Homo-oligomer: A and B are copies of this chain.
Amino acid sequence: MASKAAAENVGKHRGWESLNLFLNKYGIVLILLAMLVAFSLLSEGFFTARNIFNIIRQISFMGLIAIGVTMVILTGGIDLGSGSVLALAAVLATSLAQLPESATLKYAGLSVPIGVPVLVALLIGALTGWVNGALIARFRIPPFIATLGMMTVARGFALIYSNKPLSQLTPEYNFIGQGAIAGVPFPVIVLLVVAVLTHIMLNNTRFGRYIYALGGNEQAARISGVNIDRVKIGVYTLAGLLSGLAGLVVSSRVGSGQPGQGVGIELDAIAAAVIGGTSLSGGIGTIWGTIVGALIIGVLDNGLILLNVDQYWITIVKGTIIVVAVIIDQRKNR
């Protein structure tokens, strides 16, 4: 009888619960929509297919990194090295995709199929990520320190490999960042595909669930027989791979691999994840939330410029709006 009452209780709370869940889930989307409406009213050029693609293309590589860092944060970790890894991947890849007539030619006489630079970028990304993961899982280095180390080390190697930008790239390479399929810019497609795949991975595979389990309660995961170390190494490797992919996208977008590329992008990516509802203590967060977070950042960057807001004020306004968005998002959680 008592247990029946309990069951009823559960039932009763279920409805309220789902409204709450809805707000929890979609509060930040409402904020994004509000922004879109506001900017559309304030600026004519804002709500055009072209500008919307602009925004997504502009956040595409940051979005890739944000997806990676979301998974890392879900385990209760952090990745500060993404921007540097992006640069390292970019210079390595572009050095293998230069036109023979390039003024900054790194390897004269080199002509390799497009797959090679792509693979190299992904591999170096994955490798740096693996190193992060190994340091964190096996040597118990706090993720903040391990990836901060990677931030300086990868940047150093990028600069040693080439302290100058590597430009004049093959058209196939440039297609990654500049091309379009059926009118949809290729970077946008890449971002969407990665988002969908990681979403499925997180929700429907063991590895994905273990990522959440680690962040929710590492101890519980361990005593349930989850191989903690393997999951950690896997997550950081994946995040590194996505940083490498971001390096590909950004270098092909600007047609040049730059050792100084991507400074500070990790903070934007982390902000995107947190705005999108990822908890920095792990266990809570979704990929699509992160995408919404990245869009909010992209829309602000784009919209404030369209409105001719003074540049110094842009940073102030952007910082403030992000904080306010998070406040609103928190409030409704009460």
Contact = CB atoms under 8 A, between A and B. Distances in A.
Given A141-B323, A323-B141, A326-B145, A315 B155 contact: yes
A287 interface: no
Contacts of A315: 152-153, 155-156
A157 interface: yes
Contacts of A86: none
How many A residues are at the interface, by size bracket? 35 or more
B312 A140 contact: no
Given A319-B150, A319-B152, A142 B312 contact: no
Contacts of A80: 267
A156 B316 CA distance: 6
Given A145-B275, A146-B323, A323-B145, A316 B157 contact: yes
Interface of A is mostly: helix
A153 B330 contact: no
A127 interface: no
Number of copies: 2
Name the residue in A274, A280, A323, A326 with the highest tally of chain B Cβ atoms < 10 Å from its Cβ: A323
A120 to B, nearest CB: 20
Given A153-B319, A153-B320, A316-B157, A148 B326 contact: no
B320 A148 contact: no
A156 B327 contact: no
B144 A327 contact: no
A314 B280 CA distance: 31
B330 A140 contact: yes
Interface string A125-149: 0000000000100011110111011
Interface string A262-289: 0000010011001100011000000000
Contact of A139 (B141, B270, B275, B330): B330
A78 to B, nearest CB: 9
Contacts of A271: 145, 148
Given A145-B275, A146-B323, A316 B139 contact: no
B152 A316 contact: yes
A152 B321 CA distance: 11
Interface of A: 80, 135, 139-142, 144-146, 148-153, 155-157, 159-160, 163, 267, 270-271, 274-275, 279-280, 312-316, 318-320, 322-323, 326-327, 330-331
27 contacts: A135-B323, A135-B327, A139-B330, A139-B331, A140-B330, A141-B326, A142-B279, A142-B280, A142-B326, A144-B270, A144-B274, A145-B275, A146-B323, A148-B267, A148-B270, A148-B319, A152-B315, A152-B318, A152-B319, A153-B315, A153-B320, A156-B312, A156-B314, A156-B315, A159-B312, A160-B312, A160-B313
